[in-house]
Amino acid sequence: MIRIPVNDAEHFNFDECLLFLNRSPRECMHRVANGRLYKLFSQGDAPALLDISYANGEVLVNTDSEVDEAAVADYLTRWLHLDGDMHAFYQFARKDKVLAQLVKNYQGLRLIGIPDLFESLTWTITGQQINLAFAYTLKQRLVQAFGYETEIDGIPYYLYPPPEVLAAVPPEQLLAMQFSKGKTAYILHVAREMAEGRLSPQLLLEMDYEEALQKLVSLKGIGNWSANYVLMKYARFPQALPLEDAGLHNALKTQLQLPVKPGIADVKTLTQHWKNHAAYATFYLWRSLYTK
- Asked about 15 being catalytic, the answer comes back as no
Encode 119-141: b = buried (16+ Cβ within 10 Å), e = exposed.
Answer: bbbbbbbbbbeeeeeebbbbbbb
Q: Give me the catalytic one of 68, 74, 245, 266.
A: 245
Closest residue by Cα to residue 81 from 110, 115, 51: 110
Cβ atoms of 190 and 200 within 8 Å: the answer is no
Closest residue by Cα to residue 179 from 225, 218, 146: 146
The H or E element containing residue 197 is none
Look at the chain and count its residues: 292
CA 288 to mean position of chain CA atoms: 16
Query: Which 3-state string (H, E, C) describes 213-231?
Result: HHHHHCCCCCCHHHHHHHH
Closest residue by Cα to residue 286 from 94, 102, 37: 102
Catalytic positions are 245
